[in-house]
């Protein structure tokens, strides 16, 4: 069974630009969560989607948004990029609507210059 | 590889010795706890979980202890191997209807051959 895949793995953007990151969950998983990882703040929850609906949202500005498609693949978008958005963005998939063995992808390393 | 954190508490352990990693969690309403291992360049990998109705759970070479009175979690690794070198995170959440994980800051484990 293939694991969680994220594309692209590395990305360099300029301040003010926008970016879209993609996550393909494990086959059959319907929940996708996104996390931001930085040296200063650690791993922080961004949002979670289940069956194309956003169920939970973390404390991030509205510049961070996401969506989930009918095949459970998910995208997150960050608009008007700031230097502080440089981070490793991780997505995790889970089989059901409750926390149980969330499986993480390798992440997308975003650098904003 | 990816730098997953700066200034993390570091545990240096001799190969073959046992390791103990500690974590204080914050939400007394949390009822599900997970330990993750993150190696350089990879996403967090599930190690072991425990529900709040238990105080101990054992896996292969790992044991998690939960003390709800003082909101403390620990991970014990028996016969530590070089492949155990990584950053270890504890995470807490509410089990039902919620896939939102709150992560601790992480502990770096360095295994000395």
Mean pLDDT value across chain B: 90
Whole-number pLDDT of residue A40: 87
At residue B94 the predicted structure's pLDDT band, cuts being 50, 70 and 90, is confident
Mutate to test the interface with B, among A43, A87, A95 (most CBs of B within 10 A): A43
Chain centroid, CA B102 distance in Å: 13
Q: CB atoms < 10 A from the CB of A59, how many?
A: 7
Query: Residue B5 pLDDT > 70, yes or no?
Result: no
- Per-residue pLDDT reduced to its tens digit, A42-72: 999 999 999 999 998 999 999 999 999 999 9
pLDDT recorded at residue A98: 64
Q: Which residues of A69-100 are buried (b: 16+ CB within 10 A; e: fewer)?
A: eeebebbbebeebeeebbbbbbbbbbeebbbb
Q: CB contact, 8 Å: B53 with chain A?
A: no
Cβ distance A42 to B5 less than 8 Å, yes or no, reads yes
pLDDT in tens, B68-81: 999 999 999 999 99
DSSP per residue, A33-65: EEEEEETTTEEEEEEEEETTEEEEE-S--TTEE
**CA nearest to B43 within chain A:** A106
User: Which tens digit of pLDDT belongs to each residue from A2-43?
Assistant: 899 999 999 999 999 999 999 999 999 999 999 999 988 999
Residues of chain A neighbouring B89 (CB-CB closer than 8 A): 42-43
Phi first, then psi: give them for residue B11, nearest 5 degrees: -110, 120
Q: How close, in Å, is residue B69 to chain A by CA atoms?
A: 23
User: Is B41 an 8 Å CB contact of chain A?
Assistant: yes
The pLDDT of residue B3 is above 50:
no
Are the beta carbons of B101 and A99 separated by less than 8 Å? Answer: yes
Distance between CA B64 and CA A22 in Å, rounded? 33
The whole-angstrom distance between A16's CA and the closest CA on chain B is 25
Q: What is the reported pLDDT for A101?
A: 81
Nearest residue to B106 (alpha-carbon basis) of A99, A108, A43: A43
Distance from CA of A44 to the nearest CA of B (A): 7
Show Cβ contacts of residue B58 under 8 Å, excluding neighbours closer than 6 positions: none
Cβ proximity of B34 and A98 under 8 Å = no
| Tens of pLDDT, residues A83-110 | 999 999 999 999 866 656 889 999 999 9
Q: How confident is the model at residue B97 (pLDDT cuts 50, 70, 90)?
A: low
Q: What is the pLDDT of residue B99?
A: 79
CB pairs under 8 A between A and B: 86
């Amino acid at each position: 069974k293939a694991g969680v895949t994220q594309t692209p793995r590395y990305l360099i953007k300029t301040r003010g630009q926008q970016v879209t990151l993609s996550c393909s969950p494990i086959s059959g998983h319907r929940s996708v969560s996104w996390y931001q990882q930085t040296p200063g703040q650690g791993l922080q929850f961004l949002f979670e989607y289940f069956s194309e609906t956003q169920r939970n949202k973390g404390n991030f500005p509205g510049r961070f948004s996401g969506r989930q498609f009918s095949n459970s693949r998910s995208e997150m978008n960050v608009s008007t990029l700031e230097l502080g958005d440089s981070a490793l963005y991780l997505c995790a998939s889970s089989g059901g609507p409750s926390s149980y063995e969330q499986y993480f992808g390798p992440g997308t390393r975003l650098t904003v210059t | 590889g990816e730098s997953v954190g700066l200034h993390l508490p570091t545990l240096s352990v001799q190969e073959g010795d046992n390791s103990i990693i500690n974590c204080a969690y914050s939400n007394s309403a949390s009822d599900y706890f997970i330990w993750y291992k993150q190696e350089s360049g990879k996403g967090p990998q599930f190690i072991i979980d425990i529900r709040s109705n238990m105080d101990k759970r054992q896996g292969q070479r790992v044991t998690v202890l939960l003390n709800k009175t003082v909101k403390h979690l620990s991970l014990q690794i028996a016969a530590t191997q070089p492949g155990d070198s990584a950053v270890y995170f504890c995470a807490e959440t509410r089990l039902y209807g919620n896939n939102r994980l709150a992560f601790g800051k992480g502990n770096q484990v360095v295994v000395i051959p």
